[in-house]
Structure 1
Amino acid sequence: MARPSVRSLDGLVLAPVADQAPGQVGTRTRFTYHEKDGEIWAEYAGGDVVRGHLVGTREGDRLDFRYVQLKRDGTTSSGHCVSAVVELADGRVRLEETWEWESQDGSGTSVVEQIPAEEGAAQAR
């Protein structure tokens, strides 16, 4: 059962639990989060995303950030996201996201979850 969390996101690696539309963030995308004094930021890459960055704020269990990314086809896109931070029963973190593009049409919801430490270590090799 999921429960609210106040745990720091600093240093956590998260991945989407499902693929989004083609050319967007997907299950091969990895987000490395940082957090300090109510500020959050992350770098991400993988799948169709060559490089992405997000920056915003955290208030309690609510994240509010903007993101920008470069895709493999050379195009860029940006948007806005609000996420709820939830701690899973096994102690990992889940972000339940509601996002909207600002550089193009489209909006939706997605879920990213913390990668178990052993999986993250294996991918780093």
Structure 2
Amino acid sequence: MSAPSLAAADHASLDGRTFTGVSHSGSGEVGSATEFSYHQDRDVVWAEYSGGAVIRGYLVGTRDGAGLAFRYTHLNTDGRTAGGACESRIEVLEDGRLRLHETWAWESRPGTGTSIVEERR
């Protein structure tokens, strides 16, 4: 099976897809127990997320081809709110699932990092 074309990532809809964290660096609170439920309406994207260190979280932003830019905010298990900004790049895996490569920065406290979230099977 050949790898999907780069153009496939530009057109793959996020709507109705569920993702989980597979790797992260920095001071992030998203992990393998965190689940994201994505929605998309043209170039507008949003998601709800929870699990692991996150009780409830939301993100909202825009999409330009295979790129996403959004803000996120959540309540963690310590009872504190936190938020920041993220830019992501969509990758289409050989099996058709999506992977998001994220670069993020807290706005509510110091810290930056990278994460990868992958569509659940």
- Which TM-score applies when normalising by structure 2? 0.90
> 2: distance between equivalents of 1:70 and 1:25?
12
Instruction: Indicate the SS of the match to 1:89.
Output: coil
What is the aligned length? Answer: 116
Unaligned runs of 5+ in 2: none
Q: 2:88 aligned with 1:101, yes or no?
A: no
User: What's the Cα RMSD here?
Assistant: 1.6
Structure 2 distance, partners of 1:84, 1:2, is 15
Answer whether contact 2:17 2:37 (CA < 8 A) is retained.
yes
Supply the AA of the counterpart residue of 1:104.
Answer: R
Q: In the TM superposition, what is the alpha-carbon distance from 1:18 to its structure 2 partner?
A: 2.6
Give 5+ residue unaligned stretches, structure 1.
117-125
Normalization by structure 1: what TM-score?
A: 0.87
Classify the secondary structure of the residue corresponding to 2:110: coil
The letter of the residue matching 1:40 is V
Match status 1:74 vs 2:79: yes
Structure 1 residue 80: Cα displacement: 0.2
Q: Does structure 1 residue 64 correspond to structure 2 residue 64?
A: no
Higher alpha-carbon deviation: 87-96 or 14-23: 14-23
Determine what percentage of the aligned residue pairs are the same residue. 48
Residues 1:24 and 2:29 aligned together: yes
Residues 22 and 83 (structure 1), Cα distance of their counterparts in 2 relative to 1, 3 Å cut: closer
SS at match of 1:17: strand
Task: Find the partner of 1:51 among 37, 52, 56.
Answer: 56
User: Does 2:84 match 1:85?
Assistant: no
Which of these residues, 36, 39, 42, is aligned with residue 41 of structure 2?
36
